[in-house]
Amino acid sequence: MDNWNFLGSRWWKFDFHIHTPKSNDYGRGDESFKNTTPDVWLEKAMRKELDCVVVTDHNSGAWIDVLKNKYQELSQNKLDWFRELTIFPGVEITVADSSNRVHLLAIFDPSCDSQTVTSVLGGCGINAGFGDDENTSTNTGFVETVNKIAVARGIAIPAHIDGRKGLLEGITALTPELIKSLQSISAAEFCDLHKFDNADAELKKQVDGLAKLAGSDAHKPDDIGKHSSWLKMSRPSIEGLRLALLDHEFCVKNQAENPNCVPDVYLVKLTIQFMRHCGRIPGQPLTLQLHPHFNVLIGGRGTGKSTILEAIRIAARREDELKPFPKLEAELIKFLRGQTGMEKERGVMLDTTEIMLGLSRNSINYRLRWRFDAQQTVLEQDTTTGWQAVETGNLKERFPLSIYSQKQINELALNPKGLLEVIDRSLEVNRTEWQNRWETEKSTFLQLKGQQRELRRQLATEEPLRARLRDVEHDLNVYEEQGHGEILKTYQKRQQQKNSLPSNHIFDGLTSKLHELAESAQLSDFPEHLFDDEDQTKTEMQAIHDWTAQELNQVSTVLLQLVEKLAEIKTQREQKNQASLWFHSLQKSEVDYASLPPDSSQYGKWVQQRNSWQQELQRLASVRKDIDTIDNQLNKSLQKLIQLRTELLEKRRTFLDKVIGSNEFVRMELVQFGDTSCVEEDYRSLLTLQERVFTNSIYEHESKQGLLWELCQWETLNKPEAELAQLIAAVKNKTIEIAKGLDTGNHGAFNNRLKQLWENQPNVFEQLETWYPEDLLRVKYAREPASGRFVDLEKGSAGQKAAAILAFLLSHGSDPLIIDQPEDDLDNALIYDLIVKQIHLNKSKRQLIIVTHNPNIAVNGDAELVHVLKFENGQMQVEQQGGLEELPIRAAICRIMEGGNVAFEKRYQRIRPEQTHVI
């Protein structure tokens, strides 16, 4: 991967076994290949995208310097196929091992030359016959030859160990001599990587302890790179190769695809300047280059490792994630601004402090720039014209990032409820998207409740209205019996008919709606600016757009024609009504009624009242139907809310099954609506009831009474989980019944308070109807993982609790994960079994940044990049950064984490088991 430009370790593509024309059998019988030139040889290796090649002629190193010189020449005048290539000097030695001749590869540092190879060959008794593998061999045995290679600081690797002239050719069982040979090496080249998968147990054990490498054994240019392996190191060197082979489980891959890949989102660089103890020298900010995979921050106490974590938290605007932990939030504020009062303490920030966090998201580079004086983060994007400010958007969604200090982990261990937020941030659960749907449905429910409340208010006038109607109808009957009965009856009848017949408003409403439809039947303009003139699809898509617009215009025309038709119907209806016998009868009844004596005016008022009240009752009948409709909608909406909560529960459970599964350290279970720790707080908040009032009516723990008692104590009372929904419903129903005056609580003052709320703020009870407690997360851990038995987390020690939480945090996600000192409270067995194993499982798919004092995490976790911090001259500084195979990094790890070489050796000598045999 030519564009890999990160500090620390990366994967390098190796071909461990390549010959040149200096091998007598080069070309495998085709003499024309003897004329292969160094530039052709190098071109073939480069076109196969190899990073490292090992030149391994038979008993000769003659072409090593030739190839190196040609490479230097090519690098000065790079052709289009040129790529960087590291040439490892090597040789394929024919070892006279007992009665057999075994081929053994010797590999040396790229800084070595042909003379190094010639010297080793001479030490093994080969001073002539260079290039010949048939008649030339060592006078040293296999183990002795391996030792001579090691003395020259080289690495011995048996060639094609399972093939012709291989150390294990035809071997099905081990001899003592073979065991010594295998124990003298750390790697071997295999023709078949699975050759010994079903071999004798002891043979398989010995083979599995070796790094399995692939080499092409190329005797022709086209065979170069035919077989290769990937090895991880910072830069190609013999020391890096040696360490990779020793840690072959994690540092050697035999695959075709390039393992140098990066996560979708990762941190690139952290820059801090003008902080009180960091980056205060102008032009010399503290800069931390980050690797996209596993970063380790080490340093003595007080070197500022935790400051790095908090700086990232601040720049990424993740301070609010500490809100569930008030003590930690207060500590962060103190860290930023200091402490005022009698014991004043300055924070680390100055007015000019700036933190800049570089990130990569889907191969686009961004940076977050935070200044203390502005108290805000600016997002900038790397463009062809430089860094440009862009819309920040939702930083948490755009740049997912998980940060956990050791204190956060401890808080989560004490109260696992906070883990729900971690679960909900996952893509699988996506609480933000779910929350939007929940709020939308809740808003629908509350709107319907408001409509229902208004309609019921209107319907409350129905019974008084019916009573008044009965009275006026009685008065009318009495008056009619006094005379003029027929005229009055006819008049009443026609007026009732007139009032009950549909009015012309229906035509006006339809006309308005048709006009709106006609106006909306228009297509927006074709987005021509999004189609280039060279885009072959433009003409086709514009034609489809124009055809659609024309068809919609026709629809609009038809709708306007319907408007004209409605006007015509309205006019004809009026004309037919006026020409009807009924209309003439209506007019006659009105003329006859007008001719009645003056004392009939009261009768007219009664008729008007009756007609008006009858119309109002008809409207209220419609209101009753509307209420029935809204009641059905409310039931459906409430069911949707419950379904949404169930959906959230299932998403959480699915996520936990996927992440925790059969984890040997931790188990997690969810109980719907089971977390009652905040029930009283929620209840009081919804009903606007202050703390410590009406305790006997709401919740009194000591006296075991109150509306919420049974719900809050459901676990203590051994209530089945399935009854939780009923307990919640009982609380809601009881509260509303008290508010309506249909039931009584434990105290009159509480009853009165709810009644006042019902009269003045009925909407709070509607909010109560949509409320449900949070799901309960139960965390269990294994005291002895091998036993498979799990107990409640609250019964564990501090270390066991932290282990359970870490097992979860390290088990999921693809976003960058930053943890401060996860080893605190853990013994070394848990550190290796839990943290180190999870690091290896995670770091290929996500970025890890871990602050630690434990060498197991850095070394056994195989950190790609180690950052060594120091505190000097009152300033936090980066002493050095590099991969594990770099000597200064290993020395720093030993010095800082082990107390130095002498302390490490003494401790090792005191605790290591006695050796039972000597190799």
Could you read off the pLDDT of 551-603 as tens digits, one per residue?
989 998 999 999 899 899 989 999 999 999 999 998 988 888 887 766 556 77
Residues paired with residue 465 on neighbouring β-strands, in sequence order: none
Is the pLDDT confidence value at 423 over 80?
Answer: yes
Is the pLDDT confidence value at 421 over 50?
Answer: yes
The DSSP annotation for 18-57 comes to: E--TTSTTTTTT-GGGGG--HHHHHHHHHHTT-SEEEE-B
* Pick from 14-18, 436-440, 832-836: least confident: 832-836
Let me know: does 836 contact 861? Beta carbons within 8 Å.
yes
Q: Structure tokens of 537?
A: 């699809």
Question: 2 falls in which pLDDT band (50, 70, 90)?
Answer: low
Q: Structure tokens of 482?
A: 């006094």
Tell me the per-residue pLDDT of 889-903, one tens digit each, with 9 for 90 and over.
888 888 887 765 654
Three-class DSSP category at 268: strand
| Model pLDDT, residue 902 | 54
Distance in angstroms (rounded) separating the CA atoms of residues 871 and 759: 66
Range with top average pLDDT, 177-181, 509-513, 520-524, 526-530: 177-181
Q: Structure tokens of 773?
A: 């407690």
| Model pLDDT, residue 901 | 61
Q: Report the run of H or E that residue 672 belongs to, with start and end.
A: strand 666-675
- On average, the pLDDT of the chain sits at 88
User: Higher-confidence residue: 912 or 874?
Assistant: 874
Residues paired with residue 91 on neighbouring β-strands, in sequence order: 106
What number is the average pLDDT over the span 415-423? 82
Half-sphere exposure of 441 (CA within 13 A, CB side): 22
Let me know: does 506 contact 514? Beta carbons within 8 Å.
no
Q: Structure tokens of 311?
A: 């700086």
| Model pLDDT, residue 98 | 67
What number is the average pLDDT over the span 608-613? 85
Tell me the per-residue pLDDT of 639-661, one tens digit each, with 9 for 90 and over.
999 999 999 999 999 988 888 87
Residue identified by tokens 């996600």 is 813
Q: E-strand spans in 300-413?
A: 338-339, 345-346, 354-361, 364-371, 376-383, 386-389, 402-404
Residue identified by tokens 């009856």 is 489
Tell me the per-residue pLDDT of 755-774, one tens digit each, with 9 for 90 and over.
999 999 999 999 999 999 99
914 alpha-carbon distance from chain centroid: 47
Q: Structure tokens of 590?
A: 């009105």
What number is the average pLDDT over the span 485-507? 81
Is the pLDDT confidence value at 904 over 70?
Answer: no
Question: 919 falls in which pLDDT band (50, 70, 90)?
Answer: very low
* Pick from 389-398, 408-417, 446-455, 712-721: least confident: 408-417
Is the pLDDT confidence value at 146 over 70?
Answer: yes
| Model pLDDT, residue 340 | 45
| Model pLDDT, residue 865 | 95
Is the pLDDT confidence value at 350 over 80?
Answer: yes
Question: 111 falls in which pLDDT band (50, 70, 90)?
Answer: very high
Let me know: does 808 contact 668? Beta carbons within 8 Å.
yes
Distance in angstroms (rounded) separating the CA atoms of residues 212 and 25: 26
Distance in angstroms (rounded) separating the CA atoms of residues 137 and 96: 6
Question: 343 falls in which pLDDT band (50, 70, 90)?
Answer: very low
| Model pLDDT, residue 617 | 85
Question: 301 falls in which pLDDT band (50, 70, 90)?
Answer: confident
Residue identified by tokens 């808003």 is 443
Backbone angles phi, psi at 523, to 5 degrees: -100, 135
| Model pLDDT, residue 172 | 86
Is the pLDDT confidence value at 629 over 80?
Answer: yes
Distance in angstroms (rounded) separating the CA atoms of residues 122 and 730: 94
Percent of the chain with pLDDT over 90: 51
Which one-letter amino acid corresponds to residue 776? L
CA distances from 385 to 360, 381, 382, 388, 854 (A): 18, 10, 8, 8, 44
Nearest residue to 473 via CA among 490, 500, 492: 492
CA distances from 538 to 9, 105, 529, 549 (A): 48, 63, 10, 16
Sign of CA dihedral 824, 826, 828, 831: negative
Distance in angstroms (rounded) separating the CA atoms of residues 63 and 53: 13
What number is the average pLDDT over the span 47-75? 96
Backbone angles phi, psi at 288, to 5 degrees: -120, 105
Judged by phi (left if over 0) then psi (alpha if -120 to 50, else beta), residue 362 lies in left
Three-class DSSP category at 425: coil
Q: What is the CA radius of gyration of the chain?
A: 43
What number is the average pLDDT over the span 506-535? 84
- Could you tell me how many residues make up the chain? 919
Distance in angstroms (rounded) separating the CA atoms of residues 24 and 912: 50
Tell me the per-residue pLDDT of 531-547, one tens digit each, with 9 for 90 and over.
888 888 988 898 999 99
Question: 345 falls in which pLDDT band (50, 70, 90)?
Answer: low
What number is the average pLDDT over the span 839-848? 87
| Model pLDDT, residue 916 | 38
| Model pLDDT, residue 907 | 44
